[in-house]
Amino acid sequence: MMAFLLENKNFIAQLLLIGFVFQVLQISAAVLVYFERKIAAWAQQRYGPHLVGPSGSLQPIADIVKLMFKEELRPRGADTFLFYLAPILSAAAAFGAFAVVPFGTSTTLFGLLDKPLALEVTDVNVAMLVIFAITSMGVYGVVLAGWSSNSKYSMLGALRSSAQMISYELSYGMSLAAVVMLAGSLSLRSIVDAQAGYWFHVIPKWYVFIQPIGFFIFMTAGVAETNRAPFDFPEAEQELVAGYHTEYSSMSFALFFMAEYINMFTVSAVATDLFLGGWHGPFLPSWLGWAWFLLKVSFLLFFYIWMRWTLPRYRYDQLMEFGWKWLLPMAVINLLATAGIVLGMGW
């Protein structure tokens, strides 16, 4: 047993890394819920959670325990199989998408491993498309939840979700394509490495500086994809009670909730890799790159939450109009301009 462990150190390390990423994603959901409530409270001049643990920091754990002991309800006339499948699909897509996101350079864990271990679950040479494919599967969780609940609010939420997703997926893909053209690769690791170094020794070579419009489109479409305010139509609590997850309770609801926060985390992580130079940054040695990565992701997540409590929700037709008449043309022009520059200057 011991010999086996010593011989396959890299294999074991890889397994541990997968477990680590899985746990971090779960914990990030809990942490995000806490910060969301704290920032909301700060924006609205109240305390927020402050009773459980020091400044309420154990509140998410209390919530999870509460959800676990709640009764699992199912409306009469609901399609049993799909009703229980939907939250699982949502959560699986959320976890799966992160599998190809790199978050640091390789490490040997201070010489413990023979070969350096890359800080990502798996390296695929079409990583960007894989993320795109898996996140586009996530919408089925929402749609099926809405349909199988056999309730009008859920149904409306599901319909909105599929319409919204079709409208924003195109611009999303095109903003990604512009970055792929600049980097000349679909692998996230090569894209991040293409952003190393500085212009004039000061400005980091991040794609956000040459693709500001692309970054804007990516983040906007990302917010729409994750169903966050101001594009949170599938939920829209003032109109649809809770949208697609109205009829869910207990852990099924928790899965949807978790999936939403993990999706936020994934979109921020992908944006960091694509536009903000991933783990590259000044001052820190390269093996501490993941600290930069985490810092950038936290910044984007804060932005996400800040936006929710700042901007009011759009009207539904405004959302469609914005997606098709503004975002999509903008994405097309950005793509064509990038293609022209890449061809003309031989980037």
Partner 1 sequence: MDGLYFWIFAVIAVLASLGVVGQRNPMYSVLLLIVSFGALSGLYVLLNAPFVAAIQIIIYAGAIMVLFLFVVMLLNVPTEDPVKGYHVKLLGGAGPRHFGAVLAVALVAELVWAMSHLRLTAMPESAGTTSSVYQIGLKLFRDYAFAFEATSVLILLAMVGAVILARKEN
Cβ distance to partner 1 smaller for residue 24 or 118: 118
The string of DSSP codes covering 268-296 is: HHHHHHHHS-TT--SSS-GGGHHHHHHHH
152 binds partner 1, rule: CB under 8 A: yes
What is the pattern of x (binds partner 1, CB under 8 A) and - over residues 34-73?
----------------------------------------
Amino acid, res. 343: L
Residues 161-200 that bind partner 1 (CB under 8 A): 162-163, 165-166, 169, 173, 186
User: Out of 95, 140, 275, 304, which residue is the one contacting partner 1 (CB under 8 A)?
Assistant: 140
Cβ distance to partner 1 smaller for residue 122 or 310: 122
Q: Which stretch binds partner 1 (CB under 8 A): 13-21, 62-70, 133-141, 268-276?
A: 133-141
Cβ distance to partner 1 smaller for residue 49 or 138: 138
Nearest approach in angstroms of CB 82 to partner 1 is: 7
Paired residues of 203 in beta bridges: 199
Residues 6 or more apart whose Cβ sits within 8 Å of residue 185: 125, 191, 194
Answer yes or no: are the C-beta atoms of 224 and 138 closer than 8 Å: no
Q: Which stretch binds partner 1 (CB under 8 A): 74-82, 240-248, 259-267, 277-285?
A: 74-82
Q: Which stretch binds partner 1 (CB under 8 A): 35-43, 49-57, 158-166, 209-217?
A: 158-166
Residues 99-128 that bind partner 1 (CB under 8 A): 124-126
Answer yes or no: are the C-beta atoms of 87 and 255 closer than 8 Å: yes
Distance CA 141, CA 158 (A): 9
Distance CA 63, CA 37 (A): 13
Cβ distance to partner 1 smaller for residue 66 or 152: 152
Torsion of CA 265, 270, 271, 276, to 10 degrees: 110
325 binds partner 1, rule: CB under 8 A: no
User: Out of 158, 177, 254, 270, which residue is the one contacting partner 1 (CB under 8 A)?
Assistant: 158
Paired residues of 198 in beta bridges: 204
217 binds partner 1, rule: CB under 8 A: no
What 8-state DSSP symbol labels residue 313? P
Distance CA 294, CA 110 (A): 21
Cβ distance to partner 1 smaller for residue 32 or 93: 93
Q: Which DSSP helix (H) or strand (E) runs through 267?
A: helix 250-275
Whole-number Cα distances in Å, 15 to 22, 113, 121: 11, 14, 9
261 binds partner 1, rule: CB under 8 A: no
Distance CA 127, CA 186 (A): 6
Q: Which residues bind partner 1 (CB under 8 A)?
A: 77-79, 82, 124-126, 129-130, 132-134, 136-137, 139-140, 143-144, 147, 150, 152, 155, 158-159, 162-163, 165-166, 169, 173, 186
